[in-house]
């Protein structure tokens, strides 16, 4: 029975069952009708972007204005050259930071950190130290409070590192990432980016290893560049620009979907009749309400100094993308986390919900995060830009080779770095790169690599003859458009950077970049050591580089692949090449604790063996907990929402048949009876699947995924979730989704994909 609205927007007619109550789904549909675009607080005609950008950031400009010269200079040395900051200066910085924050209306401060979950953590304290002698407020913020906090670490994941008797952890100021003011409805909070460690000094967060990996890369890359004759370089950083995909749905639908609320994804839902096959969403004109949301979120991000640049509709209906201008990795990481937080909050203000899950809706594309990665020197030169001088050129080819070697040597580890339950729904599903790591170099650069491997001194290119002698020639310009064409590759060279496309949309970019920086540092050292040996043996440096690049590329050639990564042929070919193909999280995670990974991360001081094992335990436990929550919800939604609707419809059809038969004696109702039979069979299928879903969990003993810290017992549990629970959940879903297209639409309890993905 159709739903009508009276003038007050209330439901005029209720469900046909006559209970006088609209279902949550019907109320949701109703609520969406009244939505209007929401205005943001910023009017750019009054306050141009240049004026609001960074207003909430304690950035260099602010520091230069507020700090004594010597303190400012010391801070800059710390930021630009990685020098330690004299703790005596901290009091001065803290005081300036407090005055700046108070003047802008802040009342509280917090150490803002990044525990081993995908979220950030904050505990707010006011600046108030006492009511004062005469009852007035005294506000203080010391260097000590700036530099170090002492949160209770016992409720954050540690993977077994932190023994239970030592619950304290500490947070330590990361001066390389600027402090900022987070605005909320009733005030502002000063957020100080910090690392988070246990009292024994073990990293309990994602930032610490990322910073350590940046140090490792810096040391290795500077040494290489000096060896190649580029003596002016003082510092090398890695740069990242993460492209972020997400979905938006109306809040009313969200609130009627317990699965999306609790798991971030729909555990049920038939494919919508219209998916993405019309190709009408990608780069389509952005709906007014969504654009209003985007602009509002962007204005908040501008204030926080996050350089968001690109916005567009993505492939799936209700899917979108935002991309920033790239920054130094650790800042890009903090900014990506901030972006996700601001998007979540702003969406709510607009009556929307922002979904970062990798696969909120099966049947249409999922969301990823393209991690554009490169290296830059202290002059801002991009070290993966094919150079315009012979020296730059040699540098470029040596670094490119080092990246290829790193990804080849640690393909399994890199794969493990992006492994989590959500990403399993998307990797290898013909919309995202496969789980096999390989590198795409594009036609031009591949021709160069092939010629180098073949030992040619010259090659023909579209731009004429190219001399391949190191130290003499420069490479031809590599056209960008050509290099970005292959969207199926997990790790693609796109003209002047690599694009690592396998990251999940909900994932922090910290760990994958930690791995990437460290493995590249290791391969750079390999190159430098070999170069030094060759030079000691009497070879000229350019000849040595040429020989080394040729041999190293040849040894690592199996990682290079320009073809279609979605094809079945590639899977066969990759197997022949011996490339790892780790299908899911459970297969991938053990790579993290293999000897190769330990050697790499321990040697470079990025993670100790304890820390590494702790991380592995956390990831395993997170997988178990995620699937466990999905299991509980699948069961309860199927039993308490879907089954009742199906049974009610079944009973209605059955009574219709009985009534019709009694009204019209002798009538043939075989078609109606078949319909009832079909429906009944589907209901039985659902019930059977549900029973099976409950059974394996009983066998597993404690079915709660628990607080266990994921030792090898947890790995057995993870395998069990993967092999038994996930297929059993899928069977329940299959039966339920078939019922969705049989049962009376007016009593179906869950908002349907055709509504959630199109009505906003």
Q: Can you give the binding site for ligand ADP, defined by CB under 6 A? A: 239-241, 243, 323-326, 372-374, 382, 484, 494, 496-497
Q: Give the up-direction half-sphere exposure of residue 58: CA atoms within 13 A in the CB hemisphere.
A: 31
* Secondary structure of 237-266 in HEC code, one letter for each residue: EEEEEEEEEEEEEEHHHHHCCHHHHHHCCC
Q: Which is nearer to ligand ADP, 205 or 327 (CB)?
A: 327
* Strand-pair partners of 461: 464
138 CB-near residues (< 8 Å, 6+ apart) = 128, 129, 130, 131, 132
C-alpha 167/C-alpha 444 separation (Å) is 56
Q: Which is nearer to ligand ADP, 349 or 485 (CB)?
A: 485
C-alpha 294/C-alpha 288 separation (Å) is 10
Give just the sign of the alpha carbon dihedral 740, 745, 747, 750: positive
Inter-residue contact 331 to 480 (CB < 8 Å): no
Q: How far is the CB of 149 from ligand ADP (least distance, A)?
A: 32
Q: Which is nearer to ligand ADP, 324 or 512 (CB)?
A: 324
Burial class (CB in 10 A: 0-12, 13-18, 19+), 273: exposed
Q: Which is nearer to ligand ADP, 513 or 518 (CB)?
A: 513
Instruction: State the DSSP code for 375.
Output: E
Pairing type for strands 180-184 and 148-149 reads unpaired
Inter-residue contact 16 to 648 (CB < 8 Å): no
Q: Which is nearer to ligand ADP, 153 or 323 (CB)?
A: 323
244 CB-near residues (< 8 Å, 6+ apart) = 321, 322, 323, 336, 339, 340, 356, 369, 505
Q: Which is nearer to ligand ADP, 475 or 492 (CB)?
A: 492
Q: How far is the CB of 606 from ligand ADP (least distance, A)?
A: 20
Q: Which is nearer to ligand ADP, 264 or 442 (CB)?
A: 442
The vertex-84 CA angle with 82 and 89, nearest 5°, equals 130
Q: Which is nearer to ligand ADP, 127 or 373 (CB)?
A: 373
Place of tokens 């009505």: 759
Q: Which is nearer to ligand ADP, 497 or 709 (CB)?
A: 497
Q: Give the up-direction half-sphere exposure of residue 159: CA atoms within 13 A in the CB hemisphere.
A: 24
Q: How far is the CB of 241 from ligand ADP (least distance, A)?
A: 3
Q: How far is the CB of 371 from ligand ADP (least distance, A)?
A: 9
Pairing type for strands 498-504 and 491-493 reads antiparallel
Instruction: State the DSSP code for 181.
Output: E
Q: How far is the CB of 370 from ligand ADP (least distance, A)?
A: 7
Q: Which is nearer to ligand ADP, 32 or 509 (CB)?
A: 509
Rg over alpha carbons for the chain, rounded to the nearest Å, is 29
Q: Which is nearer to ligand ADP, 243 or 591 (CB)?
A: 243
**H-only helix segments in 642-703:** 643-663, 670-699
Q: How far is the CB of 503 from ligand ADP (least distance, A)?
A: 13
Q: How far is the CB of 312 from ligand ADP (least distance, A)?
A: 9
619: Cα separation from own chain's centroid:
15
Q: How far is the CB of 223 from ligand ADP (least distance, A)?
A: 21
Q: How far is the CB of 596 from ligand ADP (least distance, A)?
A: 27
Q: How far is the CB of 384 from ligand ADP (least distance, A)?
A: 7
* Secondary structure of 314-373 in HEC code, one letter for each residue: CCCCCEEEEEECCEEHHHHHHHHHHHHHHHHHHHHHCCEEEECCCCCCCCCCCCEEEEEE
Q: How far is the CB of 34 from ligand ADP (least distance, A)?
A: 36
| Helix, strand, or coil (residue 698) | helix
Inter-residue contact 72 to 64 (CB < 8 Å): yes
From residue 639, give the alpha-carbon distance in Å to each of 235, 582, 634: 60, 34, 8
Q: Which is nearer to ligand ADP, 180 or 373 (CB)?
A: 373
Size of the chain in residues: 760
Q: Which is nearer to ligand ADP, 324 or 412 (CB)?
A: 324
Q: How far is the CB of 488 from ligand ADP (least distance, A)?
A: 14
481 CB-near residues (< 8 Å, 6+ apart) = none
Q: Around Cβ 86, how many Cβ atoms within 10 Å? A: 12
C-alpha 639/C-alpha 345 separation (Å) is 32
Q: How far is the CB of 495 from ligand ADP (least distance, A)?
A: 7
Place of tokens 């991938």: 588
Q: How far is the CB of 693 from ligand ADP (least distance, A)?
A: 42
The DSSP secondary structure of 570-598, one letter per residue, reads HHHHHHHHT--B--SHHHHGGGGGSHHHH
Q: Which is nearer to ligand ADP, 439 or 757 (CB)?
A: 439
The vertex-243 CA angle with 238 and 246, nearest 5°, equals 145
Q: How far is the CB of 377 from ligand ADP (least distance, A)?
A: 12
Q: Which is nearer to ligand ADP, 247 or 498 (CB)?
A: 498
Residue least distant from ligand ADP (Cβ): 241
* Secondary structure of 48-108 in HEC code, one letter for each residue: CHHHHCCCCECCHHHHHHHCCHHHHHHHHHHHHHCCCCCHHHHHHHHHHHHHHHHHCCEEE
Q: Which is nearer to ligand ADP, 498 or 511 (CB)?
A: 498
Q: Which is nearer to ligand ADP, 496 or 680 (CB)?
A: 496
Q: How far is the CB of 431 from ligand ADP (least distance, A)?
A: 17
Q: How far is the CB of 60 from ligand ADP (least distance, A)?
A: 20
């Amino acid at each position: 029975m159709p739903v009508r609205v009276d003038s007050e927007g209330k439901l005029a007619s209720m469900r046909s069952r006559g209970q006088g109550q609209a279902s949550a789904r019907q109320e949701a549909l109703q609520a969406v009708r009244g939505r209007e675009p929401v205005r943001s607080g910023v009017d750019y005609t009054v306050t141009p972007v240049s004026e609001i950008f960074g207003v909430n950031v304690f950035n260099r400009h602010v520091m230069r204005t507020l700090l004594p010269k010597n303190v400012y200079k010391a801070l800059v040395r710390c930021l630009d050259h990685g020098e330690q900051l004299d703790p005596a200066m901290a009091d001065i910085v803290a005081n300036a930071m407090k005055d700046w924050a108070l003047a802008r209306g802040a009342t509280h401060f917090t150490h803002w950190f990044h525990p081993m979950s995908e979220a950030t953590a904050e505990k707010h304290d006011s600046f108030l130290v006492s009511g004062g002698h005469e009852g007035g407020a005294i506000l203080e913020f010391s260097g000590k409070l700036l530099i170090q906090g002492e949160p209770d670490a016992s409720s954050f994941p540690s993977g077994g590192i932190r023994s239970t008797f030592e619950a304290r952890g500490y947070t330590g100021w990361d001066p390389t990432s600027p402090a900022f003011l987070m605005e909320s409805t009733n005030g502002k909070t000063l957020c100080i980016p910090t690392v988070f460690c246990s009292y024994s000094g073990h990293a309990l967060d994602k930032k610490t290893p990322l910073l350590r990996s940046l140090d490792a890369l810096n040391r290795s890359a500077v040494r290489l560049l000096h060896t190649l004759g580029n003596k002016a370089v003082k510092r090398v950083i890695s740069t990242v620009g993460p492209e972020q995909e997400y979905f938006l749905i109306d809040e009313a639908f969200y609130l009627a979907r317990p699965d999306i609320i609790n798991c971030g994804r729909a555990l049920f839902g038939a494919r919508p009749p219209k998916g993405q096959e019309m190709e009408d969403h990608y780069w389509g004109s952005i709906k007014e309400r969504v654009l209003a949301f985007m602009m509002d979120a962007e204005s908040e991000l501008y204030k926080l100094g996050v350089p968001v640049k690109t916005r567009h509709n993505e492939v799936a209906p209700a899917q979108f993308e935002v991309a920033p201008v790239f920054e130094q990795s650790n800042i890009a990481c903090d900014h990506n986390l901030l972006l996700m937080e601001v998007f979540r909050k702003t969406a709510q203000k607009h009556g929307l919900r922002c979904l970062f899950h990798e696969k909120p809706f099966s049947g249409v594309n999922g969301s990823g995060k393209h991690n554009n990665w490169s290296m830059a020197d202290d002059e801002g030169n991009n070290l993966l830009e094919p150079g315009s001088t012979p020296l730059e050129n040699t540098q470029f080819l040596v670094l490119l080779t080092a990246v290829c070697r790193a990804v080849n040597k640690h393909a399994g580890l890199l794969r493990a770095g992006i492994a989590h339950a959500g990403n399993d729904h998307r990797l290898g599903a013909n919309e995202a790169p496969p789980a096999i790591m390989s590198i795409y170099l594009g036609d031009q650069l591949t021709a160069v690599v092939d010629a180098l491997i073949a030992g040619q001194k010259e090659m023909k290119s579209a731009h004429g003859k190219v001399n391949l002698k190191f130290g003499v020639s420069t490479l031809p310009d590599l056209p960008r458009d050509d290099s970005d064409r292959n969207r199926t590759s997990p790790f693609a060279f796109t003209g002047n950077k690599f694009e690592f496309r396998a990251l999940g949309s909900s994932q922090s970019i910290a760990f994958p970049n930690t791995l990437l920086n460290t493995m590249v540092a290791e391969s750079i050292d390999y190159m430098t050591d070999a170069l030094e040996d060759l030079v000691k043996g009497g070879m000229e440096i350019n000849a040595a580089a040429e020989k080394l690049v040729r041999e190293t590329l040849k040894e690592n050639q199996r990682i290079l692949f320009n073809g279609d990564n979605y094809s079945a042929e590639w899977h066969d070919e990759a197997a022949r090449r011996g490339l790892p193909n780790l299908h899911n999280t459970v297969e991938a995670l053990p790579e993290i604790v293999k000897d190769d990974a330990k050697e790499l991360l321990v040697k470079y001081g990025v993670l100790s063996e304890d820390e590494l094992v702790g991380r592995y335990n956390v990831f395993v436990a997170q997988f178990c907990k995620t699937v466990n929550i999905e299991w509980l919800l699948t069961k309860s939604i199927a039993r308490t929402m879907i089954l009742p609707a199906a049974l009610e419809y079944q009973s209605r059809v059955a009574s219709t048949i009985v009534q019709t038969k009694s009204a019209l004696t002798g009538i043939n109702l075989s078609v109606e009876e078949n319909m009832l039979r079909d429906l009944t069979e589907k209901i039985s299928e659902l019930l059977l699947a549900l029973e099976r879903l409950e059974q394996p969990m009983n066998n597993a003993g404690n079915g709660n995924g628990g607080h266990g810290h994921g030792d090898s017992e947890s790995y057995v549990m993870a395998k069990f979730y993967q092999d038994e629970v996930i297929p059993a959940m899928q069977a329940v879903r299959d039966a339920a989704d078939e019922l969705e297209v049989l049962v009376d639409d007016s009593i179906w309890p869950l908002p349907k994909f055709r509504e959630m993905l199109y009505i906003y």
